[in-house]
Amino acid sequence: MWLGNGVMKDKMVKICCIGAGYVGGPTMAVIALKCPKIEVAVVDISVPRINAWNSDQLPIYEPGLEDVVKECRGRNLFFSTDVEKHVFEADIVFVSVNTPTKTRGLGAGKAADLTYWESAARMIADVSKSDKIVVEKSTVPVKTAEAIEKILTHNSKGIKFQILSNPEFLAEGTAIKDLFNPDRVLIGGRETPEGQKAIQTLKEVYAHWVPEDQILTTNLWSAELSKLAANAFLAQRISSVNAMSALCEATGADVTQVSFAVGKDSRIGPKFLNASVGFGGSCFQKDILNLVYICECNGLPEVAEYWKQVIKINDYQKNRFVNRLVSSMFNTVATKKIAILGFAFKKDTGDTRETPAIDVCKGLLGDKARLSIYDPQVTEDQIQRDLSMKKFDWDHPLHLQPMSPTTVKQVGVVWDAYEATKDAHGLCILTEWDEFKKLDFQRIYDNMQKPAFVFDGRNIVNVDKLREIGFIVYSIGKPLDAWLKDLPAVA
Ligand X SMILES: O=c1ccn([C@@H]2O[C@H](COP(=O)(O)OP(=O)(O)O[C@H]3O[C@H](CO)[C@@H](O)[C@H](O)[C@H]3O)[C@@H](O)[C@H]2O)c(=O)[nH]1
Ligand Y SMILES: NC(=O)c1ccc[n+]([C@@H]2O[C@H](COP(=O)([O-])OP(=O)(O)OC[C@H]3O[C@@H](n4cnc5c(N)ncnc54)[C@H](O)[C@@H]3O)[C@@H](O)[C@H]2O)c1
Residues marked active site are found at 283
Residue range at the interface with ligand X (CB under 6 A); choices 39-47, 280-288, 361-369, 446-454 = 280-288
- Which residues, numbered 321-360, are part of the site for ligand X (CB under 6 A)? 345-346
Distance, CA of 489 to chain centre: 32
Residue range at the interface with ligand X (CB under 6 A); choices 170-178, 306-314, 325-333, 480-488 = 170-178
Beta strands in 77-190 (DSSP E): 77-80, 92-95, 132-136, 161-165, 185-189
- Which residues, numbered 62-101, are part of the site for ligand Y (CB under 6 A)? 83, 96-99
Question: Is the preceding peptide bond at 451 cis, omega within 30 degrees of 0?
Answer: yes
Q: Is 283 in the site for ligand Y (CB under 6 A)?
A: yes
Smallest distance from ligand Y to CB 23, Å = 4
Q: By rule CB under 6 A, what string of x and - marks binding of each residue 5-34 to ligand Y?
A: -------------xxxxxxx----------
Residue range at the interface with ligand X (CB under 6 A); choices 119-127, 272-280, 306-314, 412-420 = 272-280
Closest CB to ligand X among 81 and 218?
Answer: 218
Query: Do 420 and 339 contact (CB within 8 A), yes or no?
Result: yes
Strands 337-341 and 370-374: parallel
Query: Do 29 and 104 contact (CB within 8 A), yes or no?
Result: no
Smallest distance from ligand X to CB 420, Å = 20
97 is in an annotated binding site: yes
Rule CB under 6 A: choose which of 170, 248, 304, 326 binds ligand Y.
170
Nearest to 43 by CA among 77, 76, 72, 9: 77
Query: Do 409 and 377 contact (CB within 8 A), yes or no?
Result: no
Smallest distance from ligand X to CB 121, Å = 21
Q: Indicate which of ligand X, ligand Y, none lies near residue 273 (CB less than 5 to 8 Å, by partner kind).
A: ligand X
CA-based Rg of the chain, rounded to a whole angstrom? 24
Rule CB under 6 A: choose which of 40, 93, 273, 291 binds ligand X.
273
Q: Is 41 in the site for ligand Y (CB under 6 A)?
A: no
Q: Indicate which of ligand Y, ligand X, none lies near residue 33 (CB less than 5 to 8 Å, by partner kind).
A: none
Q: Indicate which of ligand X, ligand Y, none lies near residue 280 (CB less than 5 to 8 Å, by partner kind).
A: ligand X
98 is in an annotated binding site: yes
285 is in an annotated binding site: yes
DSSP secondary structure of 62-103:
-TTHHHHHHHHBTTTEEEES-HHHHHHH-SEEEE-----B--
Rule CB under 6 A: choose which of 171, 216, 253, 408 binds ligand X.
171
Beta strands in 181-252 (DSSP E): 185-189, 215-219
SS3 content of the chain, % helix, strand, coil (to 5): 45, 15, 40
Query: Do 11 and 38 contact (CB within 8 A), yes or no?
Result: no
For the chain, helix (H) and strand (E) counts, in that order, are 20, 14
Name residue 185's beta-bridge partners: 215
Report d(CA 282, CA 254) in Å as an integer: 30
Smallest distance from ligand Y to CB 445, Å = 37
Report d(CA 438, CA 27) in Å as an integer: 33
Smallest distance from ligand X to CB 370, Å = 25
Helix 220-251 to helix 284-297 angle, to the nearest 10 degrees? 120
Q: Indicate which of ligand X, ligand Y, none lies near residue 345 (CB less than 5 to 8 Å, by partner kind).
A: ligand X
Nearest to 82 by CA among 50, 128, 39: 50
Three-class secondary structure of residue 138 per DSSP: coil
Measure the N-to-C terminal CA separation of the chain; round to a whole number of Å: 62
Q: Indicate which of ligand Y, ligand X, none lies near residue 272 (CB less than 5 to 8 Å, by partner kind).
A: ligand X
100 is in an annotated binding site: yes
Closest CB to ligand Y among 172 and 456?
Answer: 172
22 is in an annotated binding site: yes
- Which residues, numbered 215-244, are part of the site for ligand X (CB under 6 A)? 231, 234, 238
Smallest distance from ligand X to CB 384, Å = 21
Q: Which residues bind ligand X (CB under 6 A)?
A: 139, 168-172, 231, 234, 238, 272-274, 276, 279-281, 283-284, 345-346
Q: Which residues bind ligand Y (CB under 6 A)?
A: 18-24, 43-46, 49, 83, 96-99, 116, 119-120, 138-139, 168, 170, 172, 282-283
List binding-site positions. Answer: 19-24, 44, 49, 97-101, 138-139, 172, 283-286, 353
Residues comprising the binding site for NAD(+)? 19-24, 44, 49, 97-101, 138-139, 172, 283-286, 353
